Amino acid sequence: MTSEKRVGEPADVVELPAASRATDIALDELEIVYAFIYARVGNRADAEDLTQQVAMKAIPRLRQGAPASAIRGYLFATARSVLGGFWSTRLGLSEAELHEDLALALPPSPPSEESADTVQQILAQLSDNYRRVLELRFLHGYSLKEVAAEMNSTVGAIKVMQLRALRAAAKVRPLE
């Protein structure tokens, strides 16, 4: 503010977004980012760390008081970059070696529908045995032993089948 005020003149009322209001908006957007990240790392601890990183990187942008729609694209771009760094560090690969399409694609639909839909699309394109082993293990939470019993097989064979099913699932292009 550069204008001078005379004595008795009321001060300008500057409409600044309250910190708590700006934070609320940011948190609502970060909820979507969290769901996006969680759907790719599969565990809470890593999802929280990465969401925190996205939030901290995005602070200058969040503080500009931009509308939610304007910061969403920035947040997701940041989330993709943070996820790329995460996988690259954990796997010991340069980001060039890490194929970006492994886990970083932007969601085509709201995350509330995105994860389940994409996973169902992936599973639907697998052979019956591969789909069954992944459904039992991941979606129904069966142990290897329980999967083996269900599929009349051995734990060793199921372990190998699980790896092959995961490799096959990685090659499936969901209908995005």
Partner 1 sequence: MNGKPENRVEKIVADLLRGRRLKLRGGDAEEKAAITVAARLAGARQGPQRMHPGFRKRLAESLERAPREAWITRRGALVAGLGLAAGAAGGVLLGRAAVAEPVKASEPIEPVDGRWIDVAAASELVEGQGKRVVAGGVGAYLFRRGEAVTAVSSICSHLPCELWWNGASGHLACTCHPVKFTSDGHPAGDYALPALNKVHVRVTPSGRVEVLGTA
Of 7 and 18, nearer to partner 1 (C-beta) is 18
Is there binding between residue 105 and partner 1 (CB under 8 A)? no
Residue 103, φ and ψ in degrees, nearest 5: -150, 10
- Piece in contact with partner 1 (CB under 8 A), picked from 9-17, 36-44, 68-76, 146-154: 36-44
Q: What are 170's two structure tokens?
A: 């990685």
Is there binding between residue 159 and partner 1 (CB under 8 A)? yes
Q: Of the candidates 127, 170, 175, 176, which one interacts with partner 1 according to CB under 8 A? A: 170
Q: Of the candidates 1, 16, 19, 96, which one interacts with partner 1 according to CB under 8 A? A: 19
What distance in Å separates the CA atoms of residue 21 and residue 140, rounded to the nearest whole number? 40
- Of 140, 142, 144, which is closest to residue 163 (Cα–Cα)? 144
Q: Of the candidates 103, 136, 147, 148, which one interacts with partner 1 according to CB under 8 A? A: 103
Q: Of the candidates 61, 131, 138, 153, which one interacts with partner 1 according to CB under 8 A? A: 138
Residue 165, φ and ψ in degrees, nearest 5: -65, -40
- Contact, 129 vs 157, CB < 8 A? no
Per-residue contact string for residues 71-100; x = within reach of partner 1 by CB under 8 A: --------------x-x-xxxxx---xx--
Helix axes 68-91, 19-41, angle to 10 degrees: 40
Q: Of the candidates 29, 40, 79, 136, which one interacts with partner 1 according to CB under 8 A? A: 40
Beta strands in 113-173 (DSSP E): none
What distance in Å separates the CA atoms of residue 44 and residue 106, rounded to the nearest whole number? 20
What distance in Å separates the CA atoms of residue 144 and residue 64, rounded to the nearest whole number? 51
Where along the sequence are the contacts to partner 1 (CB under 8 A)? 19-20, 23, 26-27, 30-31, 34-35, 38-49, 51-53, 55-57, 59, 62, 85, 87, 89-93, 97-98, 102-103, 111-112, 114-116, 118-119, 122, 134, 137-139, 141, 144, 159-160, 162-163, 166-167, 169-171
